[in-house]
Amino acid sequence: MKLSKQQIRRAMRQRRKQLSPFERHLAGLRLARHATHIAILKRHDRIALYFDNDGEIPTRPLITHLIKLKKQVYLPVLHPLGHPSLLFYRYRPGLPMPTNRFGIPEPEQRGQRATRAWTLPLVFTPLVAFDKHGNRLGMGGGYYDRTFDRSRCRARHTALTGLAYQFQEVGSLDAEPWDTPLAAIVTDGGHRCFGTASGIIKED
């Protein structure tokens, strides 16, 4: 019997919340190690990430590492006019991070302009489940799908790379017409690219 999207979301969110603090910590360190090996990360200085939430695999070790490497780190901010899409702002450790309506910290918007999402070469995205073809199941808001809509050709230059626990891989997900596929995935178990995007992972 095939599970519905809602059933997969519920099961995966529950499973990741059952991990112990030590398991989470270890997975976050492993994720950071695998992510820093992907070729596109070495080639570009502007990288978007997100603060983990809802039991997602910890992203702080990766963010800290990228800052040490002198990368420019960007984080998503909910569109201020209520449009369900994302803007990206530069993250600078130590600066105020007000929380949005989901309780997630966002970079202060005062004093800086939003970076247009499609100009970012590498964007790490959260997800609830993924499959071997690079289909992505998110929390259900469609935020990343709208922001990186492939029907708008500009968005095609961004390598959307999912971050997850290895156990979040499922047999197959039914892609909806609006779903934006992943170019690659990084987990605590390693990294993999999908389709024709092999240059993301491999060295030149």
Ligand X SMILES: Nc1ncnc2c1ncn2[C@@H]1O[C@H](COP(=O)(O)OP(=O)(O)OP(=O)(O)O)[C@@H](O)[C@H]1O
The least CB distance from residue 15 to Mg ion, in Å, is 20
Q: Which residues contact 164 (CB under 8 A, 6 or more apart)?
A: 56, 57, 126, 127, 129, 130, 185, 187
Site track for ligand X across 160-179, x = CB under 6 A: ----------------x-xx
When CB distances are held under 5 to 8 angstroms depending on the partner's kind, the choice from Mg ion, ligand X, none that residue 139 binds is ligand X
Decide if residue 71 touches ligand X (CB under 6 A). no
Decide if residue 53 touches ligand X (CB under 6 A). no
The least CB distance from residue 45 to ligand X, in Å, is 26
The least CB distance from residue 203 to ligand X, in Å, is 30
With contacts defined by CB under 6 A, name the span among 55-63, 101-109, 112-120, 139-147 that binds ligand X: 139-147
CB nearer ligand X, residue 92 or residue 102: 102
Decide if residue 145 touches Mg ion (CB under 5 A). yes
| Residues found near ligand X in the complex (CB under 6 A) | 137-146, 149, 176, 178-179
